[in-house]
Amino acid sequence: MPELPDVEGFKQYLDSTALHQEIMRTSVLDERILDKVSARTLALRLKGAQLEAGKRHGKFLFVRTTEGGRLVLHFGMTGELRYYRHPRDRPEYAKLILHFVSRDELAYVSKRVLGRVSYVEQPEPFIEEQGLGPDALSEALDKERFLQLLAERRGMIKSALMDQSLLAGIGNVYSDEILFQSGLHPERKVEQLSRQDQKKLYRTLRRVLRKAAESGGALDELPAGYLLPHRQGDGVCPRCGRPLKRTPVSGRTAYFCPHCQG
Partner DNA sequence: TTCCATGTTCCGCA
Partner DNA sequence: TTGCGGAACATGGA
**Chain centroid, CA 155 distance in Å:** 23
Least distance CB 52 / DNA (angstroms): 25
Torsion sign (Cα): 29, 34, 39, 43: negative
Task: Establish if 43 lies at the interface with DNA (CB under 7 A).
Answer: no
Tell me, residue by residue from 215 to 244, as one string, x for binding to DNA by CB under 7 A and - for no binding: ------------------------------
Contacts of 165 (CB under 8 A, 6+ apart): 131, 132, 133
Taking CB under 7 A as the rule, which mask of x and - marks residues 66-95 in contact with DNA?
A: --------x-xx---------------x--
Q: Strands, E, within the chain: which ranges?
A: 23-28, 51-57, 60-65, 70-74, 79-84, 94-100, 105-110, 116-120, 245-249, 252-256
* Position among 55, 153, 211, 245 found at the interface with DNA (CB under 7 A): 153
Contacts of 70 (CB under 8 A, 6+ apart): 62, 63, 64, 119, 120, 121, 122, 123, 126
Choice from 156, 178, 208, 237 touching DNA (CB under 7 A): 156
Catalytic residue among 59, 64, 95, 231: 59
Least CB distance from residue 232 to DNA, whole Å? 9
Query: Reduced to 3 DSSP states, what percent helix, strand and coil does the chain have, rounded to the nearest 5?
Result: 35, 25, 40
CA 161/CA 176 separation, integer angstroms: 10
Element (H, E) at 157: helix 157-162
Binding test (CB under 7 A) with DNA, winner from 68, 87, 155, 229: 155
Residue 2 appears among annotated catalytic residues: yes
Question: Does 3 participate in catalysis according to the annotation?
Answer: yes
- Give the interface segment with DNA, choosing from 10-18, 49-57, 160-168, 206-214 (CB under 7 A): 160-168
> Contact positions toward DNA, by CB under 7 A?
1-3, 6, 32, 58-59, 74, 76-77, 93, 111-114, 130-131, 152-156, 159-160, 162, 164, 171-173, 248-253
- The residues assigned a catalytic role are 2-3, 59, 252
